[in-house]
Amino acid sequence: MISFDIPDSIKNQLQMVEMVAGQMMRPQARYFDEHEHEIPHDFINMMWPVIKDQNKRMLDKLEAGDPSPTASGTKKANTSILRLIMLIEMLSWGDPGQYLCVPGGGLGGAAVESVGTTEQKLRLMRRFAEGDKPSWGSMAITEPDAGSDNSAIRATARLDEAANEWVLNGEKIFITAGALSLVESDGFCVVWATVDASAGRRGVKSFVVEANTAGVTVSHGMDKLGIRASDTVVISFNDARIPYDNILGSPEVQSGKGTKGFQGAMRTFDASRPAVAASAMGIARGALEYTKEKLAEVGVTVDYSKPRHLQSAYERDLIDMEAKYKSAWLLTLKAVAAIVHGRGNRLEASMCKAYAGSAVTEITQKSVELLGPLGYSRELLAEKFMRDAKINDIYEGTRQINLLIVARSILGYSRHELK
Amino acid sequence: MIDFTLDEEQLMLTNAIQRYAEERVRKVYRDAEEEGAIPDEVIQAGWEIGLLPSAVPEAFGGFGDHSAVTGVVATEAFAWGDLAVTMSLLAPGAVAIPVLKAGTDAQKEAYLPLFCDEKMPKIAAAFTEPDILFDPRQMKCTAVREGDQIKLNGSKSVVPMADSAETFLVYANFEGSSQCFFVPAQSEGLAVGSREKLMGLNALPAFRLTLTDVLIPAANQLGGEAGIPFDLILNCSRLTMAAAAVGMCRGAFEYARDYAKERVQFGEPIAHRQSIAFMLAEMAIDVDAARTMVWEAAWLMDQGKGITQEATVMKHFVDEMAVRVTDKALQVLGGYGYIREYPVELWLRNARGFASLDGLAIA
């Protein structure tokens, strides 16, 4: 039944997160923007107990034999993904750079959650549920010559049957929280590598590489346009050995057209794309509210009842920004609601990601314009919103890649028909 | 809990409307546009689906309660078939729903049963005005109290089926706000003018109306002395018009998508090219985004919330979406898109009307 109702328990939790976002993240957002590669420890330490407890509850349930929330299907509404999405939106509203430093499994954890066995989940995820020190998970897909085309991945995983270990070699770039997961904590990084380079995407598997693995080198953080509080690193693997059981999904290279293993890895995106869209929408809401607030201080407000000929250009622009924000946020919620009710959301995930990325880009660019010379000044946050926003149009699949996925889906085409 | 799926009743209703749209409306809508008339039996069949009676309580001859969400879901399904047919079928709602939402008990008893009849009632709302600076909250048509009568002056435009209407619900500026009044068609001073010649929607018989010192009893004011909460009525109409835009644009998207898969140039379907495929992807996203906005605003209204801000933002988005999507559909068809033998140019002409037409229909 059509409804836009968000459960009270989530709303209540959001109120608390809003306090952290407004009173801690926002005030120090500019500092971490201007001190790239510094780690927001106080924010991380505040979040850790909360994240830890939540993860512990889920893991304990799994251990007790309850089906994991992602596997519960249509039986019962799965609210945890909705909670997560709302949380991401609110934290990104606070500061998207710091949000990306939230401890826990992150994308790497999500990969284990969605394709790992129960044994793997219990063994690997426990670190995100206990301990005094926070830990992180990360995901390494991109390579210098494999961006959107991740079937071009050249990092290799060779099975050493005698030692029952995988041996990883290659270079991965653009790894969010890579240093947090492998240098600053005892976390792990999920690495995509091929077990058979001649098999194209069929040979690509994902592997869990834990911190302190010999042969793993984490480089210095990359310098970025925005989300500067978030570390983005290059990781090299030189005969890095990991246990056989750290492969996610089947090690078999399917023959013929079968791409099941690869699709399993791709399934992570069904949740991570709405998550990126939600982060984009947090920034968009932040920028929109900020712009309205700053304009109100100088006497410019929106009257929603005015006819067009009495509307100022400001009013028209603000209504336009609000429309883009609202439509993109609702599309994001639609992609999430599909998961909540146990339905597939591949198409919706790409739709909301493509659209939210472009919406937040346009909204934040307009915000800088509307605030005049001060919009361009680093004294205000508008220009930071604009720089932070742009990443959402790129990572977890660029807008164009997601449009391609949408197009193939609505046309019923494979990648051979629509390149 | 948040959800974007129709309930069983809505599914049955939209399935019935979808069947009607495919089997009846899509057979005639092109000729109807060229000839300026929709066959009576097509209208009758659409009326018999019974959307309006399902929104009227039993006490007044219907069999249900009004739901804005059900209204927009049904409207989308109708408009997928054709916009002019949809406006014809939902025009009576522009009288019935305001009566339902704001009428006095006596007015509900007098008027609501008319909308639950087997035949469509001959009653029309006169909302829009022929004015470049038309502002629904500051209408130029005036209503002035004279003793226990009201005197109306002004002109209205795009009044649907005015040539056969026996009663009009005329909107006018009354003591500073937009209010509406029942005016018998044979009132002295009321004249049905020429038929509107619009850019699109030509199958819908719509007319100008002029009122010169038309006197009616003060009791004919909808809502009695309390009047109507005008924004509520305006927002009802915006929801319906926006839902119609979504339905029509879904039709345009589907048509362009199917065409692109069949049209072969350079040895393969043009849909194999990203330049075409991306336009289609953007259209699909645009329509979906618009629908979620319409649904949310409708849902908020059903929760009893005032939605003027949401409706303004939503309508701003949907009006532009309609032009974007139908323009892209035309572009996908290339030269054929410009030819009247194909439906796409009609959809573009219709689409541009949404920014200008309020108050035409309510579901």
Q: Say which CATH number the domain at B14 has.
A: 1.10.540.10
Q: In this structure, what token pair is assigned to residue B107?
A: 């007015």
Which residue in A184, A348, A396, A417 is the catalytic one? A396
Confidence at residue B202, expressed as pLDDT on a 0 to 100 scale: 96
- Other beta carbons within 10 Å of B132: 5
CA-based nearest residue in chain B for residue A306: B135
Q: Report DSSP state, residue B131.
A: -
Check whether residue B290 and residue B205 sit in a common domain.
no
Does residue B363 lie in a domain region?
no
Check whether residue B259 and residue B348 sit in a common domain.
yes
Cα diameter, chain B = 78
Check whether residue B349 and residue B234 sit in a common domain.
yes
Over 60: is that where the pLDDT of A69 sits?
no
Q: Which residues on B lie below 8 Å from A327 (Cβ)?
A: 289-290, 292-293, 317
Q: What is the domain range of residue B88? A: 8-116
The distance of B16 to chain A (nearest Cα, Å) reads 18
Question: Which residues between 274 and 303 in chain B have a beta carbon less than 8 angstroms from any beta carbon of chain A?
Answer: 274, 277-278, 280-282, 284-285, 288-290, 292-293, 295-296, 299-300
For each of the domains in chain A, give its residue range(s) and CATH number, in order of start.
8-133 (1.10.540.10), 138-248 (2.40.110.10), 260-411 (1.20.140.10)
Does residue B144 lie in a domain region?
yes
Cα diameter, chain A = 79
B260 contacts A323? CB cut-off 8 A: no
B5 contacts A326? CB cut-off 8 A: no
CB of A215 within 8 A of CB of A156? no
| A305, A328, A411 ranked by CB distance to B280: nearest | A411
Check whether residue B329 and residue B239 sit in a common domain.
yes
Check whether residue B315 and residue B206 sit in a common domain.
no
CATH of the domain at B280: 1.20.140.10
Confidence at residue A74, expressed as pLDDT on a 0 to 100 scale: 45
| B1, B135, B308 ranked by CB distance to A5: nearest | B1
Q: How confident is the model at residue A262 (pLDDT cuts 50, 70, 90)?
A: low
The distance of B336 to chain A (nearest Cα, Å) reads 21
Does residue B168 lie in a domain region?
yes
Alpha helices in A126-225 (DSSP H): 178-182
Q: What are the tens digits of pLDDT across the range B302-357?
A: 999 999 999 999 999 999 999 999 999 999 999 999 999 999 999 999 999 999 99
CB pairs under 8 A between A and B: 137
Run means of pLDDT, 10 residues per run, chain B, 363 residues? 97 98 98 97 97 96 96 98 98 98 97 96 97 97 97 98 97 98 98 97 97 98 97 98 98 98 97 98 98 98 97 98 98 97 97 95 97
Confidence at residue A256, expressed as pLDDT on a 0 to 100 scale: 54
Euclidean distance between CA atoms A323 and B312, whole angstroms: 9
Last residue of a domain, one of B226, B244, B277: B226
Q: What are the tens digits of pLDDT across the range A310-333?
A: 999 999 999 999 999 999 999 999
Q: In this structure, what token pair is assigned to residue B261?
A: 């898969």
Check whether residue B214 and residue B283 sit in a common domain.
no
Mutate to test the interface with B, among A2, A315, A350 (most CBs of B within 10 A): A2
Confidence at residue A220, expressed as pLDDT on a 0 to 100 scale: 81
Q: Which residues on A lie below 8 Å from B280 (Cβ)?
A: 407, 410-411
Q: How confident is the model at residue A76 (pLDDT cuts 50, 70, 90)?
A: low
Across the range A259-280, mean pLDDT stands at 78
Q: Which residues on B lie below 8 Å from A324 (Cβ)?
A: 317
Last residue of a domain, one of B194, B226, B258: B226
Across the range A393-417, mean pLDDT stands at 96
A1 contacts B6? CB cut-off 8 A: yes
Check whether residue B160 and residue B104 sit in a common domain.
no
Mutate to test the interface with A, among B8, B250, B285 (most CBs of A within 10 A): B285
What sign does the dihedral B138-B140-B146-B148 (CA atoms) show? negative
Residue A252 falls in the annotated catalytic set: no
Does residue B287 lie in a domain region?
yes
Confidence at residue A264, expressed as pLDDT on a 0 to 100 scale: 62
Mean pLDDT across chain A? 93
Over 80: is that where the pLDDT of A259 sits?
no
B293 contacts A324? CB cut-off 8 A: no
On the CB side of A204, how many CA atoms lie within 13 Å of its CA? 22
Does residue B40 lie in a domain region?
yes
The answer for A234, left when phi > 0, alpha when psi is -120 to 50, beta otherwise, is beta
Over 60: is that where the pLDDT of A261 sits?
no
pTM of the model: 0.94
CA-based nearest residue in chain B for residue A324: B317
Mutate to test the interface with A, among B3, B287, B310 (most CBs of A within 10 A): B3
Q: Is A239 helix (H, G, I), strand (E, B) or coil?
A: strand
Check whether residue B137 and residue B212 sit in a common domain.
yes
Confidence at residue A376, expressed as pLDDT on a 0 to 100 scale: 97
B271 contacts A411? CB cut-off 8 A: yes
Q: Which residues on B lie below 8 Å from A333 (Cβ)?
A: 2, 292
Check whether residue B235 and residue B290 sit in a common domain.
yes
A2 contacts B69? CB cut-off 8 A: yes
Question: Which residues between 160 and 219 in chain B have a beta carbon less than 8 angstroms from any beta carbon of chain A?
Answer: none
Could you give the number of structural domains in chain B? 3
Q: Residue A64 phi/psi, 5° resolution?
A: -75, 0
Check whether residue B13 and residue B110 sit in a common domain.
yes
Single-letter residue type at B272: H
CB of B57 within 8 A of CB of B113? no
The distance of B248 to chain A (nearest Cα, Å) reads 18
Does residue B76 lie in a domain region?
yes
Q: How confident is the model at residue A149 (pLDDT cuts 50, 70, 90)?
A: confident
Mutate to test the interface with B, among A3, A316, A324 (most CBs of B within 10 A): A3
B272 lies within 8 A of chain A by CB: yes
Check whether residue B352 and residue B257 sit in a common domain.
yes
Last residue of a domain, one of B168, B194, B226: B226
Does residue B222 lie in a domain region?
yes
* Residue in B307, B291, B321 with CA at minimum distance from that of residue A331: B291
CATH of the domain at B173: 2.40.110.10
Q: How confident is the model at residue A68 (pLDDT cuts 50, 70, 90)?
A: low
Check whether residue B136 and residue B216 sit in a common domain.
yes
Does residue B48 lie in a domain region?
yes
The angle subtended at Cα B214 by Cα B185 and Cα B241, nearest 5°, is: 60
Q: B185-191 — which CB contacts under 8 Å span 24+ positions?
A: B187/B214, B187/B215, B187/B216, B188/B214, B188/B215, B189/B152, B189/B213, B189/B214, B189/B215, B190/B214
Euclidean distance between CA atoms B12 and A277, whole angstroms: 33
Across the range A84-93, mean pLDDT stands at 96
